[in-house]
């Protein structure tokens, strides 16, 4: 019997049917996943990926914005921009051969006086960060270098000189500590909210006013949008450009003439000065010596230069002694002791103390300078002749008064032992020593002695552990002069556009007020006036013949180095002071020998006194 071969196939078992169904389901699911994924990418996300693709072939090349200028109260330029030439390398024009590129770097190194390998590393590092832009090799080159590169352009493929904006400080060393300098933003700064709108390579303020008001001075960068291929190489012409916007102009309370006079008064010595309005805290001048030329920071600074500027042997030029210096103040502190003693009822302005040239307190003898006796003195005369014995006795009584911090409390209330709040970074607080402060040091280190009455006696004349800056002393004297208003020093007056039109006032504020009895205040001011004008006054010889009525106090402070610190603080014009001038000179000797003549020089500039004739220009107020 004949059988059809088709009938010889085995029958489909239930197990096989299940397997076929499972495999078919898996295949169907797999194709469904692929289908829906493709549908999601092409239909739902197509626009997103299309935009990202466009972004991948369009790049923005930054055009740096010039910073805003800084001007003084009269509109005279203090900080401006200048156009410099930077040498840059364009990746599009560089030879493709590594050997040829290195030959370009070798020739460029001879022109720029740099090692070829150093140039190569600098270029490669920048191109990794921004592969489609040009890499800066040197920030500021001379016209001779520019001319050579242009004349021999065929030897330097890819090397392109470009205009850049660099900071310039016309006053040089005068005001260097105020203005600060600029530099490329650091990685740490980029991570802070303050620099959220700053890009890698941008220049920001690194000190002084440049740092304090960076958010206003910093401009808004421009950009040029270009097309690039997958390798980051430029293709075609630029698509679009945005011009950079210059930063805002900043007007300061500074007076250029007074600032220059103050810097000149230091005559290269280590010291500092402050000139300030006693009513509103506007700073006319503030400086430190030795100074430095901030223009050196317009280009990269070597480590050796930074080391020199920070060297103690060179006088630490970067150190701003006016706000960061902590010095014993000597007898310039006595008016603060007087306010405290009068307010505490320890003495009255007319009460007489016999000064024999020395006084014994406990088992220690405290002397006047040179052990000179001044006889019977009341407050006004004690300030005029600077009787240490008078104030030693006040220090002794104050140590037993209340909790023993009468003098210290008034010192802090008048601005010492705390930052003044000036609009400059890096201000030091100083030290107003108290019983609690010294005893806490003793608990930490038993070798440190505990507080004794002698500490308060020394504090009463600005010695011992007391440390203050010239700006703090200026604030304290301003508080006395204006009747108890503790001003907050300030440099910024207002933000302006490039034409000088006001945009935002930087109004000052009163930190706090203290209550000083008008009679006590007048007695102290009378004593300071006598010190600068009457026979026997410690600074009378310095201001003899000066056409402005001055009230002031000398200070000669002993230091740990054994060299006297010279101080002088003046209020003028008397009897209604408008300005306070404070100056200190390290190693200057007696206050009348160094600091007082420096203050006279600054006052001459404030009031526009012609020292050769002693005349005051018409219209200069003296009352």
Residues 6+ apart with CB under 8 A from 349: 342, 378, 379, 380, 519, 520, 523
What 8-state DSSP symbol labels residue 140? -
Q: How far apart are CA 373 and CA 376, in angstroms?
A: 9
pLDDT at residue 1 tops 50: no
Helix (H) or strand (E) holding 87: strand 77-89
Q: How far apart are CA 329 and CA 251, in angstroms?
A: 32
Q: What is the 3-state secondary structure (H, E, C) of 341-401?
A: HHHCCCCCCCCCEEECCEEEECCEEEECHHHCCCEEECHHHHHHHCCHHHHHHHHHHHHCC
Cβ atoms of 473 and 332 closer than 8 Å: yes
Asked if the domains 60-252 and 256-606 are classified in one and the same CATH topology, the answer is no
Which one of 3.30.450.40, 2.102.10.10, 2.40.30.10, 3.90.1310.10 gives the CATH number of domain 60-252? 3.90.1310.10
Measured distance between the N- and C-terminal CA atoms of the chain, rounded to whole angstroms: 146
Q: How far apart are CA 479 and CA 342, in angstroms?
A: 16
- State pTM to two decimals: 0.83
Per-domain residue ranges of the chain: 60-252, 256-606
Instruction: State the fold for domain 256-606.
Output: Beta-lactamase (3.40.710)
pLDDT at residue 64 tops 90: no
Give residue-wise pLDDT tens across range 165-210: 888 999 889 999 999 888 877 778 878 888 877 876 678 888 899 9
**CB burial string 217-236: b at 16+ within 10 A, e below:** bbbebbbbebbbeeebebee
Give residue-wise pLDDT tens across range 7-26: 555 666 777 677 777 777 78
Give residue-wise pLDDT tens across range 96-152: 788 888 888 898 888 888 888 888 887 777 666 555 567 778 878 888 888 888 888
Q: What is the 3-state secondary structure (H, E, C) of 521-572?
A: HHHHHHHHHHHHHCCCCCCHHHHCCCCCCCEEEEEEECCCCCCCEEEEEEEE
- Residue 189, Cβ neighbours under 10 Å: how many? 16
Cβ atoms of 432 and 340 closer than 8 Å: no
- Give pLDDT, residue 601: 97
Three-class DSSP category at 175: coil
Give residue-wise pLDDT tens across range 450-485: 999 999 999 999 999 999 999 999 999 999 999 999
Q: How far apart are CA 136 and CA 127, in angstroms?
A: 10
What 8-state DSSP symbol labels residue 43? I
Mean pLDDT of the chain: 86
């Amino acid at each position: 019997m004949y059988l059809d071969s088709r009938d010889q196939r085995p029958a489909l078992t239930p197990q096989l049917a299940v397997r076929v169904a499972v495999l078919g389901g898996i295949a169907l699911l797999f194709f469904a996943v692929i289908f829906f994924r493709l549908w999601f990418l092409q239909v739902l996300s197509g626009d997103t990926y299309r935009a990202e693709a466009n972004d991948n072939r369009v790049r923005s090349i930054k055009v740096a914005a010039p910073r805003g200028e800084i001007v003084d109260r009269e509109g005279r330029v203090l900080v401006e921009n200048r156009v410099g030439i930077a040498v840059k390398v364009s990746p599009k024009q560089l030879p493709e051969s590594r050997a040829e590129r290195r030959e370009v770097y070798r020739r460029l190194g001879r022109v720029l006086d740099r090692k070829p390998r150093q140039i190569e590393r600098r270029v490669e590092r920048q191109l990794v960060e921004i592969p489609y832009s040009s890499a800066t090799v040197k920030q500021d080159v001379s016209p001779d270098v520019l001319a050579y590169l242009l004349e021999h352009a065929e030897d330097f493929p890819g090397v392109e000189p470009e205009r850049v904006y660099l900071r310039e400080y016309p006053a040089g060393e005068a005001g260097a500590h105020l203005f600060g300098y600029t530099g490329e933003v650091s990685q740490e700064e980029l991570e802070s909210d303050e620099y959220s709108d700053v890009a890698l390579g941008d220049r920001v303020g690194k000190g002084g006013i440049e740092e304090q008001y960076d958010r206003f001075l910093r401009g808004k960068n421009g950009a040029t949008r270009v097309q690039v291929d997958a390798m980051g190489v430029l293709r075609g012409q630029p698509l679009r450009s945005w011009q950079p916007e210059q930063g805002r102009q900043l007007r300061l309370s500074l007076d250029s003439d007074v600032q220059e006079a103050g810097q000149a008064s230091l005559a290269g010595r280590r010291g500092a000065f402050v000139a300030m309005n006693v009513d509103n805290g506007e700073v006319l001048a503030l400086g430190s010596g030795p100074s430095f030329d901030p223009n050196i920071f317009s280009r990269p600074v070597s480590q050796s230069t930074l080391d020199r500027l920070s060297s103690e042997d060179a006088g630490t030029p970067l150190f701003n002694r006016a706000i960061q210096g902590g010095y014993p103040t000597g007898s310039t502190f006595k008016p603060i002791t007087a306010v405290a003693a009068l307010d505490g009822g320890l003495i009255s302005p007319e009460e007489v103390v016999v000064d024999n040239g020395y006084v014994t307190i406990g088992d220690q003898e405290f002397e006047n300078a040179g052990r000179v006796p001044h006889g019977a003195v009341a407050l006004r005369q004690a300030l005029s002749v600077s009787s240490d014995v008078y104030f030693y006795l006040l220090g002794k009584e104050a140590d037993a008064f209340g909790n023993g911090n009468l003098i210290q409390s008034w010192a802090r209330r008048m601005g010492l032992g705390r930052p003044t709040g000036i609009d400059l970074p890096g201000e030091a607080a100083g030290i107003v020593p108290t019983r609690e402060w010294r005893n806490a040091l003793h608990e930490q280190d038993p070798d440190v002695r505990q507080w004794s009455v002698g500490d308060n006696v020394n504090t009463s004349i600005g010695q011992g552990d007391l440390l203050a800056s010239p700006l703090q002393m200026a604030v304290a004297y301003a508080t006395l002069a204006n009747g108890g208003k503790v001003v907050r020093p300030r440099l910024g007056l207002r933000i302006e556009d490039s034409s000088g039109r006001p945009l935002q006032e930087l109004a000052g504020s009163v930190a706090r007020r203290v209550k000083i009895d008008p009679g006590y205040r007048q007695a102290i001011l009378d004593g300071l006036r006598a010190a600068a004008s009457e026979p026997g006054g410690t600074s009378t010889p310095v201001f003899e013949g000066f056409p402005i009525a001055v009230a002031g106090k000398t200070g000669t402070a002993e230091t740990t180095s054994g060299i006297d610190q010279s101080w002088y603080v003046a209020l003028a014009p008397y009897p209604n002071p408008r300005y306070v001038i404070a100056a200190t000179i390290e190693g200057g000797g007696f206050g009348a020998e160094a600091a007082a003549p420096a203050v006279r020089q600054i006052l001459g500039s404030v009031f526009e006194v012609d020292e050769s004739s002693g005349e005051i220009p018409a219209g200069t107020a003296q009352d």
